[in-house]
Amino acid sequence: MARRTPGEGRVQALALVSTTAPLVVLVAALGTRVGAWPVEIGYDLLTMRAGWYLAFLGAAAAIGALLLSFRQFRKLGPLALVAVLVAGATLGGFAWQKARQAGGAAENVSTDLDEVPGFGDLGDQRRGQGPGPAVGPEACPGALPVMRQIAPTAAIHALEQAGFTLRGAGVGRADGSREGFWFGFDHDAVIRIRPGRTDIRVAARDHRPHGGEACRLATAISETLRSAG
């Protein structure tokens, strides 16, 4: 059995450190989804704070592993390069997500700011610290009203196409909710149908930035409705 050299052990240890951040994020997401801890721990603390700092630590460890591998590059180089790729992708992913969150529109988008459609059927589920006042097309250019009365079936189809689960529908409105995959963040949508005009509102249930997800969803619903016959 081949004996492991000190240099090999250090490279392996540093390569392991480079994977810490993505592993912490994975555990944080799974734990949040199964209810092991609240989103304040899984997302706010473990992912966006601890994971962010660990991503820098992982990048430094990967660079260290690469430098130490030069003397035995044929043997240790592949592991060091994998560590660099993992750490670089992790740090890049965090940087992209933070930039996306900072540049996204408010997570409360309405095509009518004078009479914002409500989520009256949700009751207590939308109480607490929400995403703030609604913004309109000036902040989310794709969130446009449909200047005609849409059929309820078209409203239902638009919600389902955008990934929402239907909560209820009638002659004057259709309501849906959408749960995010990783941490279970909820967005709610309502399509309000009136003679001559159909309005859309999409809003997150929490105060966190989601990279303009509400704008993206409202835009998708608006495009589907405006293209409906």
Q: Are residues 46 and 95 both part of a single domain? A: yes
Q: Are residues 151 and 208 both part of a single domain? A: yes
Residue 38: which domain range? Answer: 6-103
Q: For residue 176, what is the domain's CATH number?
A: 3.30.310.80
How does pLDDT run along the chain (229 residues), one tens digit per residue? Answer: 445 666 788 999 999 999 999 999 999 999 999 889 999 999 999 999 999 999 999 999 999 999 999 988 888 899 999 999 999 999 999 998 888 887 777 899 999 999 999 987 776 666 666 788 899 999 999 999 999 999 999 999 999 999 999 999 999 999 999 998 889 899 999 999 999 999 999 999 988 889 899 999 999 999 999 987 6
Q: Are residues 87 and 119 both part of a single domain? A: no
Q: Which two tokens stand for residue 97?
A: 């997500």
Domains: count for the chain: 2
Best CA proximity match to 28, nearest among 203, 182, 215 = 182
End residue of a domain, out of 79, 103, 127: 103
Q: What is the pLDDT of residue 106?
A: 83
pTM: 0.81
Helix pair 52-68, 73-103: axis angle to 10 deg: 160
Q: What is the pLDDT of residue 124?
A: 62
Q: What is the pLDDT of residue 182?
A: 85
Best CA proximity match to 158, nearest among 135, 146, 112, 181 = 146
Query: In this structure, is residue 90 part of a structural domain?
Result: yes
Q: What is the pLDDT of residue 1?
A: 43
